[in-house]
Chain A
């Protein structure tokens, strides 16, 4: 079978800032075809270990001998009076007043870095100021622990950390790496396979997504940082309720008539019949009490989701993570999110305010050499984020609506559609209902002069034996939208996307 002229995914993922790696193959050669992507904010995903994490790209190590175990650490570290390096540790004995250990030439100006270090021991309460790139990174007393800092530098000034007079201070494992979080593609794992996650702009309206002490809690006792959360750190609060009628709630400002979706993680230790609740403050009435027990997966972390529409007159809504239960509940909660929209999206952490993740875009322009406009195949294995009956396209086009080959989710429930448009006239078009658009479906369009085919999950569902294709080099871009810049954007998951320059492909096998 012919090789794709362009493909994405197929369990081969690589990202760098502003790019997702698309690729083609020529014989045994692997040719990168970077796909332009944008998302001007950070974003989270579920990684291959099943942990929720912020997508981050780290550069190479910039600190020399950060573990203090190289042959001659004194040659790369500057040490003030009282500092010494031995046995893989840097130690300050407090004898020299306020003194630093430092290293020059670590960073460039105006870049963002991730700085980590371990404090092995520290006496007293003096401030251990840390400098990097002209910025005061930290200005507190550093207790024993592992520290992570993110800093955007203002100069190339040295790294330095200060010990205080009369206080023994021992540190280890200093690391500085360039950090990128924005404009990074997100490859998400669902436990069985990886896929590209493409989501719209969403705002988490809960101001404290992880800090339950900021929520109203009645008839229960909170233990902060009691449980390892879905992000892999011990930062989830556990609540032991002492009554089956309880409050664990937050009041959110909403817009009447708009639909919102709550999502949160719960790790249930004991209890049955758990109810969440939405309450309309303005009309003093329950909007809904809902039993979410069926969404709980044993004693593992479970993600609960529920949508609600704010009634007429409702501008203040109480959202309850737990409102009542059949028996006393002990459970940990983490990652509360309340967002405008009919379905939940990936986690957006908050700490004291609402936070927005910006929408993502993907496109690849100037690729007429990778697309055969006269005949070819567009194959996509994709899933919708929700069956929300909106139009979401993936297309090959010339940048206009007039000339394009497309696959889309439509405004009809569980419907997928193919189409070929030339000169503004439809040459072939076929909607097809699938069992569930939120599951991955394998779809392929074959287009050639007077022959168009549509394969869905291994079956030929449509053939059209009349219609024109395009003159050579007409199609020149891959779009995650209708074919122009940004209209009816694709939001969903893509496991695999392939473009072929021939129709001599076993599409039944490809889509099976």
Chain B
């Protein structure tokens, strides 16, 4: 399985690139439109903005300083197909999102399920 971590300026740009690359298509039947995964896509997860510095709040929950976000918006793509996303592909070392059963920082091509440990 291939897992790509992607960064775009905004959601419109990201959606357009993923559509152009053939990861999904928009199908309309009987007036209803749906996004369908195609060409081996297993999941497109729109993560959105990622907080770099959390907001701070007073004792009553009022915001003192707003959160600081990383630039742009983020996606995780799981697919059986290899793509070249160019500058939109990123390689974070401390990921905020993962797929269930895969390591938190799993990305790249031919990714295996998680190597994990639990102690009872």
Contacts and interface: CB of A to CB of B under 8 A. Distances in A.
Contacts of A282: 63
Interface residues of A, number: 52
Contacts, number: 125
Given A253-B49, A358-B99, A284 B118 contact: no
B46 to A, nearest CB: 9
Interface string B100-120: 111010000000111111111
A361 B62 CA distance: 44
Given A41-B101, A41-B102, A358 B119 contact: no
A43 B51 CA distance: 27
A202 B61 CA distance: 29
A148 B117 contact: yes
Interface in A479-501: 482, 485-488
Given A135-B115, A149-B117, A203 B102 contact: no
Contact of B98 (A181, A318, A356): A356
Contacts of B115: 135, 137, 149-152
Interface of A: 38, 40-43, 54, 110, 112, 135, 137-138, 145-152, 181-182, 201, 203, 207, 233, 251, 253, 255, 279, 281-282, 284, 315-316, 318, 348-349, 352-359, 391, 401, 482, 485-488
Given A40-B78, A150-B114, A358 B43 contact: yes
Contacts of A182: 101, 113
Given A150-B116, A253-B49, A284 B97 contact: no
Interface of B: 1, 27, 29, 32, 34, 36-37, 42-43, 45, 47-51, 54-55, 57, 61-63, 67, 76, 78, 95-102, 104, 112-120
B99 A41 contact: yes
Contacts of B67: 253, 316
Given A40-B99, A152-B113, A356-B98, 5 more contacts: A41-B102, A253-B49, A348-B100, A356-B100, A357-B100
